[in-house]
Amino acid sequence: MSRKTTGKKHNVWTDPSPYGTYEGEKGNADSWKQAFEYATYSREKALGILISSDKTPREILGVGLTATKDEIKKMHRKLALINHPDKGGNHDEFEKIHAAYSILIS
């Protein structure tokens, strides 16, 4: 099925967005960040995923006992990018990484 085009380019500054609009206040960075808040698993779901693993959440993420939340977040993002199923990674490993992150951040 082909799409008809009018030959006119979409002007991002004046034309309404074809993808919807941002409903928060203009210029309010906090509401913008909340719109894209990173979701974590509930504690029960995370523990259910990790129960089959022989590693602790810190071992899964490769962080030490003194790791800060920022260090945990950096390692989670790094491992999630490597193991993401859309990038050819293992889905089960990706879930374990995200579950370990959810446990350590909460």
What are the per-10-residue average pLDDT scores of the chain (106 residues)? 56 59 57 59 88 93 94 93 89 92 90
Domain count for the chain: 1
* Torsion sign (Cα): 18, 20, 26, 31: negative
- What is the predicted pLDDT for the residue at 86? 86
The pTM (predicted TM-score) of the whole model is 0.64
| CA–CA distances in Å: residue 48 to residues 59, 91, 99 | 17, 15, 9
- What is the predicted pLDDT for the residue at 77? 92
Tell me whether residue 80 is in a domain. yes
Tell me whether residue 1 is in a domain. no
Give the domain extent around 93: 41-105
* CATH code assigned at 71: 1.10.287.110
Tell me whether residue 16 is in a domain. no
Tell me whether residue 32 is in a domain. no
Q: What count of Cα atoms within 13 Å lies in the side-chain half-sphere of residue 28? A: 9
The Cα 94–Cα 55 span in angstroms is 14
- What is the predicted pLDDT for the residue at 43? 86
